[in-house]
């Protein structure tokens, strides 16, 4: 009996299912969504896409095949030696598994792109939800439009991203295929050169529908602020805006009101002179070295908008004449991110306004503070004062006396750009 029991024990263990096999399909699907990189390459390595899961066992295959979210985010880039019939079968197989779920796609259209693949995507255009077109040239799209105009039906399209185009005309050529988009809310585009007679209404975008916009209208400082204003005049429902153009001001520019804009990010402070944003709460000013941050555009924006800014993210390239003016125009700030290019005594003077001394009421609502610098706590004599000021800020605002009507600093993040000191930066993160 003893011999029989011992012999049977390995056989019993072999029949015990591994823990993952006991999970319900819903949990297994969530694990698959974490395990498979998305967007996956439709015509790439099959051992990395959702097809990989079907090679394990029948249960995994059935679960993966029925998980529409697993198949709905992909990139389409035709390989150099691709076979059209094989590619078409892969595409149809993947699209069948998506059911009626919205599709998130990156489409890199090339001159040798098979027409059968294009038509397969077009037949499912009613599912297109998020589309990214990083095509460096509009030529393939233009040829497609002229030779075989696709019948796109885009009721679900919510987000459209178009890679950098050389001119407004090339951008318009691509967008001519996306003329009926009743639910488009987010649009991102980049134009290398914008002419002085730029007319955004000719591009064919339903600007009035947009709630999120990211745009670049030209390189360096060649673009007048009026070009950006022309676009924004058409976008009355914007809630989020990233204007990444380096703009130069012109006397005839007219102000524009964006009544719903809550989040704004700009590369050029110049545009702030011309914006009225009464609902603005989050502002990022991340300029280039040739368009440094200055206080007057910010103070003008606050004065014209009469908004209560809650979050400010700025990149400082040069000394501020009056640091106190910066903080006094944003008294309701709860989050402050300072990106400092040069860590010196000027920065120390700026940070002194955040200590709880004679200026105890400066930014009384601040509870999140982030500082991004080139170097920190190096032991260098000329930086000791700055290091001490930083420690005083954290200590004083972390342990706020109850009699002061000042918010407690709940999160401090100090990071450094160099790889070696980045580890130190990650260590200097504290949260209450």
pLDDT of the chain, 432 residues: tens digit per residue: 444 444 445 554 555 666 777 788 888 889 888 888 888 888 876 667 888 888 888 888 899 999 999 999 999 888 877 788 888 888 999 999 999 899 999 988 777 788 888 888 888 999 999 999 986 655 556 555 545 556 688 999 999 999 888 888 888 888 888 888 999 999 999 998 887 788 998 888 999 999 999 999 987 666 888 889 999 999 999 999 999 988 877 666 789 999 999 999 999 888 999 999 999 999 999 876 666 788 889 999 999 999 999 999 998 876 777 777 888 889 899 999 988 876 666 777 788 888 866 544 688 889 999 988 876 666 666 667 777 888 888 888 888 877 777 888 889 888 876 443 333 334 345 454
- Around Cβ 356, how many Cβ atoms within 10 Å? 19
- Around Cβ 320, how many Cβ atoms within 10 Å? 18
**Tokens read off for 114:** 């098979």
pTM of the model: 0.84
| pLDDT at residue 25, rounded to an integer | 85
Residue 241 is assigned to a structural domain of this protein? no
| pLDDT at residue 144, rounded to an integer | 57
- C-alpha–C-alpha distance, residues 273 and 220, integer Å: 19
- Closest C-alpha among 314, 268, 265, 312 to residue 288: 268
Residue 10 is assigned to a structural domain of this protein? no
Residue 320 is assigned to a structural domain of this protein? yes
Residue 408 is assigned to a structural domain of this protein? yes
Q: Check if the beta carbon of residue 73 is closer than 8 Å to that of residue 106.
A: no
Residue 242 is assigned to a structural domain of this protein? no
Residue 103 is assigned to a structural domain of this protein? no
- C-alpha–C-alpha distance, residues 154 and 28, integer Å: 32
Residue 27 is assigned to a structural domain of this protein? no
| pLDDT at residue 425, rounded to an integer | 39
DSSP, collapsed to helix, strand or coil, labels residue 143 as helix
- Around Cβ 136, how many Cβ atoms within 10 Å? 10
| pLDDT at residue 306, rounded to an integer | 93
Number of domains, the chain: 1
Ordered DSSP codes for 361-396: TSSTT--EEEEEES--S---GGGHHHHHHHHHHHHH
- Closest C-alpha among 325, 421, 310 to residue 376: 421
| pLDDT at residue 48, rounded to an integer | 73
- Closest C-alpha among 214, 239, 240 to residue 228: 214
Q: Check if the beta carbon of residue 367 is closer than 8 Å to that of residue 409.
A: yes
**Tokens read off for 421:** 């000191």
Ordered DSSP codes for 47-92: TTSGGGGGGT-HHHHHHHHT-HHHHSEEEEE--TT--HHHHHHHHH
Residue 370 is assigned to a structural domain of this protein? yes
- Around Cβ 107, how many Cβ atoms within 10 Å? 20
**For residue 399, what are the domain limits?**
310-432
What's CA 98's distance to the chain center, in Å? 25
| pLDDT at residue 204, rounded to an integer | 85
């Amino acid at each position: 009996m003893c011999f029989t029991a011992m012999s049977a024990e390995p056989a019993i263990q072999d029949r015990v299912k591994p823990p993952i096999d006991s999970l319900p399909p819903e949990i297994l699907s969530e694990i698959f969504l974490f395990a498979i990189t998305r967007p996956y390459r439709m015509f790439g390595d099959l051992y990395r896409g959702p097809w990989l899961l079907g090679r394990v066992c029948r249960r995994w295959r059935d679960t993966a095949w029925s998980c529409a979210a697993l198949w709905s985010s992909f990139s389409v880039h035709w390989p150099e030696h691709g076979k059209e019939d094989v590619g078409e079968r892969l595409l149809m197989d993947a699209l069948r598994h998506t059911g009626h779920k919205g599709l998130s796609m990156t489409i890199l259209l090339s001159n040798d792109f098979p027409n059968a693949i294009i038509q397969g995507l077009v037949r499912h255009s009613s599912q297109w939800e998020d589309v990214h077109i990083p095509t460096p040239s509009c030529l393939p799209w233009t040829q497609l439009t002229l030779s075989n105009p696709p019948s796109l039906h885009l009721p679900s399209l919510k987000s459209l991203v178009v890679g950098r185009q050389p001119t407004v005309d090339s951008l318009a050529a691509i967008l001519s295929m996306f003329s009926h988009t009743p639910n488009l809310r987010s649009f991102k585009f980049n134009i290398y050169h914008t002419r002085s007679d730029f007319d955004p209404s000719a591009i064919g975008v339903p600007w009035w529908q947009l709630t999120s916009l990211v745009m670049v209208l030209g390189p360096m400082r060649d673009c007048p602020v009026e070009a950006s204003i022309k676009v924004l005049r058409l976008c009355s429902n914007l809630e989020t805006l990233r204007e990444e153009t380096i703009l130069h001001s012109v006397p005839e520019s007219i102000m524009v009101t964006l009544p719903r804009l809550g989040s704004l990010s700009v590369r050029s402070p110049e545009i702030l002179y011309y914006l009225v944003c009464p609902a603005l709460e989050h502002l990022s000013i991340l300029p280039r070295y040739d368009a440094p941050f200055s206080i007057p555009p910010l103070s003008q924006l606050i004065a014209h908008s009469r908004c209560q800014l809650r979050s400010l993210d700025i990149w400082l390239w040069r000394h501020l004449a009056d640091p106190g003016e910066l903080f006094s125009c944003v008294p309701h700030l709860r989050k402050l991110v300072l990106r400092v290019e040069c860590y010196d005594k000027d920065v120390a003077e700026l940070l002194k306004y955040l200590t709880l001394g004679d200026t105890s009421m400066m930014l009384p609502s601040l509870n999140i503070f982030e500082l991004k610098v080139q170097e920190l706590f190096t032991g260098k004599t000329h930086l000791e004062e700055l290091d001490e000021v930083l420690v005083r800020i954290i200590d004083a605002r972390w342990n706020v006396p109850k009699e002061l009507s000042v918010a407690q600093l709940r999160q401090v993040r100090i990071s450094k750009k160099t790889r070696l000191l980045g580890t130190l930066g990650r260590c200097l993160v504290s949260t209450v």
